[in-house]
Amino acid sequence: MPTEPTDLASGGATYEPDLGATVVTEGPAPDPDEPGPLGEGRSKGGGYRWVIEWAIILMAVLLFTVLLRTYVVQSFYIPSPSMVPTLAVGDRIMVNKLSYDLHGVHRGDIVVFKRPPLEEQDFPDLVKRVIGLPGETISSQNGHIYINGKLLPEPWLPPGAASYTGALPDDQHQQFNLPGPVKIPPGEYFVMGDNRTDSEDSRYFGPIPEGLIVGRAVAVVWPLSHAKGV
């Protein structure tokens, strides 16, 4: 005769399966190095791989930065007033090192160049404006620059600015001083600061060889209040 289930109200009990029990199945143990289901943490091996990947990325970024600075662009700090008012003391400029691989040096360019042999100031790099080109004769008269005997317009100078034509203080190389005339050798450039009364430039150390030129200044990038193209 079939047994009837006992009513709970009568003090008896019925059997029900434990729905929360863990079911164990046979099979190989899981690999601890394999990532688990979504939401589970990475294994120790996975963490090491993550560190290696990021180290490679950081090294690549560092290498790219070094190559960019060495061959493409570099920033320089302006330590003196020789280029006032175009560049102020404390300005930081961006210099394009590829410019003169693509085209020649132009009159009016602001260039950064390595310290010439006759320059005695303790700066490894200098910044001036290109005024005279290779093969030209440069001179000065009545506060104005002449190239091959013709007046040179200088729109980069502030109104009323004049070229200083006397000997610079402690000048040991007066053969380069204007009024000149100074014949510029092939492959060399006559550079001057925009602040003509306070710039030790080619009037002191002579024309500079093209090989000393680091690149062309393209912009003031700091401080932001001075930011502009040059």
Q: Where are the domains of the chain?
A: 73-229
- pLDDT tens-digit readout, 82-97: 999 999 999 999 999 9
Is the Cβ–Cβ distance between 6 and 14 less than 8 Å? yes
Q: Tell me the mean pLDDT in the region 98-116.
A: 95
Structure tokens that stand for 173 in this block: 């190389």
- pLDDT tens-digit readout, 204-214: 999 999 999 99
Per cent of the chain over pLDDT 70 is 74
Contacts of 132 (CB under 8 A, 6+ apart): 107, 138, 147, 182, 184, 189, 190, 202, 207
Any bridge partners for residue 127, and if so which? 112
Catalytic residue among 10, 44, 75, 82: 82
**pTM over the 0.85 mark:** no
Distance CA 56, CA 27 (A): 39
**128 is known as an active-site residue:** yes
Q: Tell me the mean pLDDT in the region 180-193.
A: 95
Q: Is the pLDDT of residue 27 over 90?
A: no
Using DSSP, state whether 128 is helix, strand or coil.
Answer: strand
**44 is known as an active-site residue:** no
- pLDDT tens-digit readout, 48-57: 888 888 888 8
The model's confidence at residue 28, banded by pLDDT at 50, 70 and 90, is: low
- The mean pLDDT of the chain is 81
38-47, 82-91, 115-124, 200-209: least confidently modelled range: 38-47
Catalytic residue among 99, 128, 139, 140: 128
The confidence score (pLDDT) of residue 32 equals: 52
Q: Is the pLDDT of residue 63 over 90?
A: no
Architecture of domain 73-229: Ribbon (2.10)
The confidence score (pLDDT) of residue 14 equals: 45
